[in-house]
Amino acid sequence: MNDSFLLDGEDIPFTPGQTVMQAAAAAGKYIPHLCWHPDFAAHGSCKLCTVKIGGRFATSCTVRAAAGQEVENRTDELDAKRRTLLQLLFVEGNHFCPSCEKSGDCALQATAYELGMLTPHFDHFYPDRPVDASHPDVLLEFNRCILCELCVRASRDVDGKNVFALAGRGTRSHLVVNSDTGRLADTDFAATDRAAAVCPVGVILKKRVGFAVPIGQRTYDRQPISAGLRADDKAGAGFGEAG
């Protein structure tokens, strides 16, 4: 098969069944995204990967690639929308990059740099999201959650544990933990779980390893997120081949 579509004017080959995102990643092309991860089924919720196909908006991580498609990706119009989406995510939670252990390894922060987001723009919501430090090895800092459900998917689909789920509705949506007490310590969660390493932001943090790599030398300090390296994939396979 040598089917292909155009991504910002460049020919991108794809195999039948691939999404636009998968095909672009395999070809080393960056479409901004947060909830998409090459190892997991697409979720389609962050909407950062919104592209235009034939003039219509589409979510590139869920839409199938088709021969001859003309896909707009890094246009001024789409990047402006993505900046707004990032700003919405920043004001919805409590994100204080300078004091965050994930700074430099955070996909939200790195994507904001990539897209030139200079201010949060909107009024902050300042939600009240208590921290769960009950687990001996892992801290849950819910203030930074962007509701991408990567931990939900990893725990369910890889670890087979269902430790996490999203509860609530609208802006009251929040991550919950699978125990009677609601505390992580009362689950079978382990620091070696895939779900412990998949968080794109600073919610799921391993204890006692804070700042092991100095800020300035971290994944996205060394190269922009558009270069394709994922912070959760230290092997550095990059783009679509991780895992």
Partner 1 sequence: MATAELEDILERHRRDPLQLLQILIELQAREGWLAPDTLSALAVALGMPRARVESTASFYSFLHTRPAGEYRILFSDNITDRMLGNMALMQALCDKLWLQPGKVSEDGLVSVATTSCTGMCDQGPALLANGRTVTRLTPERIDEMAHLIRRRVPVGDWPPEWFHVEDNIRRRDVLLDHGLAPGQALAVALDRGAMSILGEIERSALRGRGGAGFGSDIKWRSCRDAWGDAHYVICNADEGEPGTFKDRVLLSSYFDLVVDGMCIAGMAIGANKGFIYLRGEYRYLLDRLETRLAQRREQGLLGRNILGRGFTFDIEIHLGAGAYICGEESALIESLEGKPGKPRIRPPFPVTNGYRGQPTTVNNVETLALAALIAVRGGEWFRAIGTPASTGTKLLSVSGDVERPGIYEFPFGVSVAEVLEAAGARDTQAVTSAGAAGHCLAADEFGRRIAFEDVATGGSIMVFDASRDMFEVARNFAHFFAHESCGFCTPCRVGTAVNARLLDKLAADHGSPYDLDEIVKMHRLMQGASHCGLGNTATIAIDDMLAKFRPAFERRLHSPEYEPAFDLDAALSQARRMTGRDDPGAHLGDNRGALAEERAHAHGRATTTGVQGAPASAEPVSAKDLQP
Residue 55 or 216 with smaller CB distance to partner 1: 55
The distance of closest approach from Cβ of residue 205 to partner 1 in the complex, given in angstroms and rounded to an integer, is 20
Q: Which of 137, 207, 130 is nearest to 175 (CA)?
A: 130
| Per-state percent for the chain, helix, strand, coil, to nearest 5 | 25, 15, 55
Q: How far is the CB of 146 from partner 1 (least distance, A)?
A: 8
Residue 34 dihedral angles phi and psi, to the nearest 5°: -130, -45
In the complex, least distance from residue 172 CB atom to partner 1, rounded to whole angstroms: 7
Query: What phi and psi, each to the nearest 5 degrees, are found at residue 234?
Result: -70, -15
Report the Cα–Cα distance between both ends of the chain, in Å, rounded.
Answer: 25
Residue placing its CB nearer to partner 1 in the complex, 177 or 229: 177
Contact 102, 144 (CB under 8 A): yes
Torsion 170-175-179-181 (CA) sign: negative
Whole-angstrom CA distances from 38 to 4, 138, 187, 233 are 20, 24, 27, 11
SS3 45: coil
List of residues contacting partner 1 (CB under 8 A): 42, 44-48, 50, 57, 59, 62, 81, 84-85, 88-89, 91-92, 122-123, 125, 146-147, 162-173, 176-180
**Burial category of 226 from C-beta neighbours within 10 Å (exposed 0-12, middle 13-18, buried 19 and up):** middle
Give the shortest CB-178-to-partner 1 separation in angstroms: 4
**Nearer of residues 52 and 218 to partner 1, judged by Cβ:** 52
Least Å distance between CB 35 and partner 1?
9
Nearer Cβ to partner 1, position 76 or 216? 76
**C-beta of 101 vs 149, nearer to partner 1:** 149
For the chain, helix (H) and strand (E) counts, in that order, are 5, 9
Smallest gap from residue 67 Cβ to partner 1 (A)? 17
- Residue placing its CB nearer to partner 1 in the complex, 88 or 191: 88
